[in-house]
Chain A
Amino acid sequence: MSGKEPLLSPKNLRLLTDPLARNNPVTVLVLGICSALAVTVKLEPSIVMAISVIIVTAFSNLVISLMRNYIPPRIRIIVQLVVIAAMVIIVDQVLKAYAYNVSKQLSVFVGLIITNCIIMGRLEAFALGNKPWPAFLDGVGNGAGYGFILIVVAFFRELLGSGTLLGYPVLEKIGLYKTGYVNNGMMILPPMALITLGIIIWVQRSRNKDLIES
Chain B
Amino acid sequence: MKYTLSVLVENQAGVLSKVSGLFSRRGFNIDSLAVGITEDSSISRMTIVVDGDEYVVEQLEKQLNKVIPVIKVRTYAQGEFISRELSLIKVNCPAKQRLDIMKIAELMGAKIVDVAVNTLTLQFADTHEQFETLLDLLKPYGIREIVRTGTVAIEKGSKTTV
Say if A and B assemble together.
Answer: no
Q: Which residues of B contact A (CB under 8 A)?
A: none
